[in-house]
Amino acid sequence: MSLKIAVIKETAANEKRVAVSPDSAKKYVSMGCHVTVQAGAGLAASFTDDMYKDVGAHIAKTDADTLKDADIFLYVQKPDASVLKSLKKGALAIGMFAPYQDTDAIKTWAKTGVTALAMELVPRISRAQAMDVLSSQANLAGYKAVLDATEHFNRAFPMMMTAAGTIPPAKALVMGAGVAGLQAIATAKRLGAVVSATDVRPAAKEQVQSLGANFVAVEDDEFKEAETAGGYAKQMSATYMKKQQDLIEETITKQDIVITTALIPGRPAPELITEKMVKSMKEGAVIVDLAVEQGGNCALSEAGKIVKKHGVTIVGNLNIPSRIAASAATLYAKNLQNLLGLLIDSENGTLAIDWDDEIVKGITLTRDGNIVHEQFAKADEKTATNTTAKSAPKKKAAATKTSTAKTKTTPKKSTTKSATKKSTAKKSATTKKKSTTKKTAAKKTTAAKKK
């Protein structure tokens, strides 16, 4: 029986992409797979149902119908856990899971028995470059960020010499020279801006300069060690950040456009632009914050909003790649296709997964009901340990409450004792009174006899 690959319509807000393109669907069919796509799943990315049908895919009306008996479930953004009810145990669910932002979901998915593969965790090795969804999507985000800036910037980007006078070129600063940043630099340069860029990673300097931009950074000893083995930026010390901030404060006052792209996996986005910096910028300047969904690189950016603060327009659009859905979906679908080429035996159309493969091991979150990714499994164990440690004092608290309860009942005993004392006191008083009366009577009798 052939493998069934299922793709449903994305439900996340602002999501227009789809996990399979007509081209990738055609490839899966040629591998002997049965491809089922939910009706309308690709419309937002300009892929019609007929385009899927033409390459041999099947169209289902509901997500439940689409996912029934599926061996592989492909998605863009992690769907609601309720969708998992339609998947059989052991099915592969592959897409962008956002594991750092939603660790609880990892536990939920593990309990269902679904094998979850997170595309954000694809290792940064040459063999996996064709599967790297972060790079493919960030590349488009950097391009779109510059176009968003042009929409809100009320001057021209290139220098223009006319009979009426000369218009100077716009000055743009790109903060963070990763994949998104480098594409933003290239796009801004093509539009004619004078571009500068900053990054804490030493390797970025040569890349920035190769695109014709000026490199801005504090190049001290810490700067030379500021890159992880995976190519990501390290968290810098407070001392370095202060020196870098002073340099940026001086640079940013001269800029017309600032595009921020700095992200650190598993952590909130670092704040690169303070309110003080925004105040120092030119009237009419534009900031595009690509990190807004993880807290933002600008102190004044607001997720999902375009605001104007101190004369500066701050763009905080969400899900930038989805704003050019057709291109983004095409690249994303290709990334997934390249991964499935590693998981499926193309000759007979069956799964042939090497769980010890570096790529497979690096992206597998859950399997056989357990969290198997080393990083998140350790985090889960740590959470469980902390929970156990915290639960211990509760027993003491309960004992204290019992003790308190006993203390509260004590006054009743005291009242009884008090009543007993009062009764004893009364008896004593009565006895004393009777004794005194007898003595008085005896004295009177003695006196009478004497008379």
HEC states along the chain? Answer: CCCEEEECCCCCCCCCCCCCCHHHHHHHHHCCCEEEEECCCCHHHCCCHHHHHHCCCEEECCHHHHHCCCCEEEEEECCCHHHHHHCCCCCEEEEECCCCCCHHHHHHHHHHCCEEEEHHHCCCCHHHHHHCHHHHHHHHHHHHHHHHHHHHCCCCCCCEEECCEEECCCEEEEECCCHHHHHHHHHHHHCCCEEEEECCCCHHHHHHHHCCCEECCCCCHHHHCCECCCCCECCCCHHHHHHHHHHHHHHHCCCCEEEECCCCCCCCCCCCECHHHHHHCCCCCEEEECCHHHCCCECCCCCCCEEEECCEEEECCCCHHHHHHHHHHHHHHHHHHHHHHHHEECCCCEECCCCCCHHHHHHEEEECCEECCHHHHHHHHHHHHHHHHHHHHHHHHHHHHHHHHHHHHHHHHHHHHHHHHHHHHHHHHHHHHHHHHHHHHHHHHHHHHHC
Q: Average pLDDT for residues 350-370, to the nearest whole number?
A: 96
The residues annotated with a catalytic role in the active site are 124, 129, 132, 135, 232
pLDDT band at 382 (very low <50, low <70, confident <90, very high): low
With a cut of 50, say whether residue 413 has pLDDT above it.
no
Distance CA 350, CA 276 (A): 59
Q: Average pLDDT for residues 30-37, to the nearest whole number?
A: 96
Distance CA 414, CA 424 (A): 15
Q: What is the pLDDT of residue 425?
A: 45
With a cut of 90, say whether residue 125 has pLDDT above it.
yes
Q: What is the pLDDT of residue 394?
A: 52
CATH code given to domain 141-323: 3.40.50.720
Q: What is the pLDDT of residue 415?
A: 43
pLDDT band at 243 (very low <50, low <70, confident <90, very high): confident
Q: Quote the mean pLDDT of the chain.
A: 86
Q: What pTM was estimated for this model as a whole?
A: 0.81
With a cut of 50, say whether residue 427 has pLDDT above it.
no
Domain boundaries along the sequence of the chain:
4-121+347-380, 141-323
Q: What is the pLDDT of residue 49?
A: 98
What's the topology of domain 4-121+347-380?
A: Rossmann fold (3.40.50)
Q: What is the pLDDT of residue 435?
A: 45
Is residue 190 within 8 A of residue 168, CB to CB? The reply is no
Domains 4-121+347-380 and 141-323 share a fold: yes
Residue type, 84: L
pLDDT band at 429 (very low <50, low <70, confident <90, very high): very low
Higher pLDDT, 331 or 417: 331
Q: Average pLDDT for residues 160-168, to the nearest whole number?
A: 95
Lowest mean pLDDT among 17-31, 126-140, 211-225, 240-254: 211-225
pLDDT band at 223 (very low <50, low <70, confident <90, very high): confident
Is residue 335 within 8 A of residue 27, CB to CB? The reply is no
